[in-house]
A and B are shown apart, each in its own frame.
Chain A
Amino acid sequence: MTRNTQPLSLRVPEPTGRPGDAPDFSHLKLDVAGAVDRPPVEARPVQMLDLAFRLIRVLDDEGQAVGPWNPRLDAGTLKKGLKAMILTRAFDDRMHRAHRQGKTSFYMKCTGEEAIAVAQGMILSREDMGFPTYRQQGLLIARGYPLVDMMNQIYSNAADPIKGRQLPIMYSAKDYGFFTISGNLGTQVPQAVGWAMASAYKGDDKIAITWIGDGATAEGDFHNALTFASVYRAPVILNVVNNQWAISSFMGIAGGLETTFASKAIGYGLPALRVDGNDFLAVWAATQWAEERARSNQGATVIELFTYRGAPHSTSDDPSRYRPGDEHDKWPLGDPVARLKQHLIALGEWSDEAQAEAEAEAVAQVRAAGREAEAIGTLGQSRPSVKMMFEEVFATEDWRLTEQRREVGV
């Protein structure tokens, strides 16, 4: 007999709303813009524990940039960011439709999360390496990677830069600081740490940046990454994109009810920032802070980017089956595009007309790229030579592959 006289019970967390319920975000404790202190980049992690539980915000409800984290960006940079976000959204919309039309097998949008990859892609240079997951298309777009090449990859057509081998959206663009994407969640995070360790080992000046979803932080790889980043003081920025949902599982299933994702860094002795991910300026400021730490050899920072996945998880998903239909509309941190637009208008640098014009321009740009890619071909209409199936398994083909290639007749 044990000494326990009381029956135990198993707890399984549940979200605040399911289909048919009214969205409820009343449990969120959101700091107002400007409320959170900005420690010096030399601060030791133990001196800034509260930042793992607060929320760094710069843009207030009127679109004004306030508080110690205001990065004071010039209008040109702000406009560049806004346009890249608009273009990312237009690209997503077209490719999502292309899937519906049977032109590709798969697509994933980043609706509502555009500020993250766009701002961070603009801050770091192409020589630094980004280790993305599958919702950082904004990184390529902000850096001017050709849209037509992204589409060629999505269509697995004859001009696909990765030769028809990968699932659509699993880009690879070394020259743009964009590491090859894996379909296996979380694997990129400890690899980013290793890349950063290599740069430090060589005495180079490059840093790494990586992204993981809230759900995937439950993978061992995430925790391995934090251990290595801390032990070797790797120059890397470790982003957790908390978009509230991991397919049908709310962030509570990944441990997000008991503590914040940023705070996971604390036990590893790493500094943690928790940031409004729909606030372009806050994302910018926090990333710059982490960048400065990494560049000045003070090691890694964990940044939780608090946001909401507005679109379905992927083209295979129907979110209305597991969450309130209008939850995204009720998201208290708004829409990143609308908020940056409002800020630029408040600065007197932008207008509704300029916005409409930029949106039309983005649609036209995507349409033109679409025409170009589709002229080469969509999935099944065009593809690289079948020979490509057997190449680059190893640096040089062994006899088995040679025989198998011949069996296919190529």
Chain B
Amino acid sequence: MKNFLTSNNTLEIFYIIIGLFLLYYAYLTWKDKEHQAKIGTIIFWVILAILFIFGRWLPPSVSGVLVVIIAIDAGLGKIGKGKYFSTSKEFREKRRKELGNKLLIPILVISGMAILFAIIGWNPLIGLGFGSLIALVLNKFYIPKESLEHILDAGRSSSDAIGWALVLPPFLAALGALFNRAGVGQIIASWIQAIFPVENLFWAIFAYAFGMAIFTIIMGNAFAAFAVITSSIGIPIVIQMHGADPATIAVLAMTAGYCGTLLTPMAANFNIVPGALLEMKNKYRIIKIQATMAILIWVTHLLVMYIMAF
């Protein structure tokens, strides 16, 4: 039982349920007479459904081909929005007065289950999954007239709004893995060593923090940057040549990398997907607003590294 509530394998149940949702979105798209991009959107949802339901059992090369197909499909703009059972402003205002805080129940159940699972030491993602299913059932109590079709149509509407940005995060993770195998990290590290006069303490710290940030900006992932930049700059130069405290400098290097995460569209799940979720016009507005804070905190890192690690 404990294993069931902590293991990532349990998530397969939720992946299969998501896959079924997506197949239903494809069906609703097929029925949708006013859809802008019917065929491309159906292909997108069906293939994504296959990856969710059968992903664990598919040979990696087959999954790879399917991922490439949906990337091309979505990347060439073949997916689009349709017509949904939308509600009017007047209706929502009327329902708000009737339902009041009951409207908050689903979100509280979902977040609450995730937090509860985390506190107990189970996998919070499993809590999120169960919370979502409970929330779906609870909907029946205060909106009994809505059919499952209406509920899933609401899901389709939000998912269509996210569109291509939906698959970008796992797609970027795949890119990171490819860059890693191709040896991109080592090349960048050797360039940074050649550029900065690292026998000087300031430039050594600067090169480490800069390397973390720039590599994170390119890869969209500070974790990938850490191993490469620490083995090429952090350990030989900052720790061995200048005598920095390993624990302190390593942790600060990681958050210096996070400053880069705030600046890059490559970190799509933090900077691009939220914009899509919020239906923002400008996809880069979040990065723009984060930039000043990111740069200030990065500069502060140089100072904190100098004070704390030596």
Q: Do A and B bind each other?
A: no
Residues of A within 8 A of B (CB): none
